[in-house]
Amino acid sequence: MVTLSVFDQSALVSGMTPYEAMRNTLALAEAADRLGYARFWVSEHHDTDGLAGSAPEIVMAAVLARTRRIRVGSAAVLLQHYSPYKIAEQFRVLEAMFPGRVDLGIGRSSGGKPPSAAALQYGAGSDASFERRLLDLAGFLRDDLPADHPYAGVRARPSIPTVPEIWLLGSGTQSAELASQLGASFAYAHFFKGIPGHDAIRNYRDRFRPGPLGDKPRTAVCTVVICAETDEEAERLAAPVDLRMLLIDKGEFARPYLTPEEADAYPYSEEDRERIRANRTRMIVGGPDKVRRDIERFCREYGADELIVLTMLHDFDARLRSYELLAETMGINV
């Protein structure tokens, strides 16, 4: 059976307030917990009008408090902007409050446009490489910094016997390579560009060795899934997602998620339609039977342990129903 998890970006739809987006995130987390999904990951984006999730560690605390068994994680903390010591303490606090349920996903992207990335780094005072930051983070989490490290005597608190699972996230081979070298779990963001990551996953598994970030290989792939009662209804719901991906390709990041009516009214060129067809490689769309077949094939081709599902829809009830149908057709209900 395919292991399924949820990725949520606290998306803003036309006319929606950030308060409503966050409320939807919490409601979706409670549903995912009830339906049997393995994980619920939340994003970190900055200065992006269509997404409300800018502080995953805060959202995670709220989600963990509202759920009972599902693992909750970041997708992903953008480590290059922050102190590894501070991240270690934040996630130790989460692990102390909710032991055995916390995932620390780490990403390499800027998380927004160049000015917001510069603002995040303002005053950080460190030019350490990404790999150095990862090693320092692991050292602070596990209390095993090298003796010659300048902060070897500093301890992240609270002092607890367990640590979060550490995942590296990426949409190429670089993060997969680093994950295999340092022992981290690896999640491939297929939804981000639609570029197949089969080589990245295969190379990760072939080259994996235990290290400071973990001791066994674990892989997941994230893609967009839209499931409805029928194939036709799923296609109608997917139209705004097609349009949003198109607009992002054109550099238009500011718009919130649109409605099917707004998507129908957009003046598509033939070039736009070609781009939409290409972007469909990033999505699985259909009724329950079609979605089940496509997911089974997708996971088989990737050889992934887990599928992380991103469902981006204008209507929250339709989004929730998509996850319900998916849990039912894939047989994950607990």
Beta-carbon count within 10 A of 23 CB:
14
Q: Where are the domains of the chain?
A: 3-330
Query: Residue 213, SS3?
Result: coil
Average pLDDT in the 153-175 region?
94
Phi first, then psi, for residue 154 (nearest 5°) are -90, 135
Average pLDDT in the 38-62 region?
92
pLDDT band at 208 (very low <50, low <70, confident <90, very high): very high
pLDDT band at 277 (very low <50, low <70, confident <90, very high): very high
| pLDDT at res. 127 | 74
How far apart CA 15 and CA 36 sit, in angstroms, is: 31
How far apart CA 246 and CA 229 sit, in angstroms, is: 26
pLDDT digits (tens, 9 = 90+) for 70-115: 999 999 899 988 999 999 999 999 999 999 999 999 998 766 667 7
Map tokens 């934040």 to a residue.
90
- H helices of 156-279, where? 173-182, 190-193, 198-207, 231-249, 260-265, 270-279
Pick the CATH number of 3-330 from 3.40.309.10, 3.20.20.30, 2.115.10.20, 3.30.70.120: 3.20.20.30
Cis peptide bond prior to 158, omega within 30° of 0: yes
Q: Which amino acid is at 76?
A: A
| pLDDT at res. 110 | 64
Map tokens 């994003």 to a residue.
43
Percent of the chain with pLDDT over 70: 96
Q: Which residues does residue 78 pair with via DSSP β-bridges, in sequence order?
A: 107
Q: What is the DSSP string of 103-139?
A: EEEEE-S-SS-HHHHHHHHTT------HHHHHHHHHH
Percent of the chain with pLDDT over 90: 79
pLDDT digits (tens, 9 = 90+) for 224-268: 999 999 999 999 999 999 999 999 888 886 667 788 898 999 999
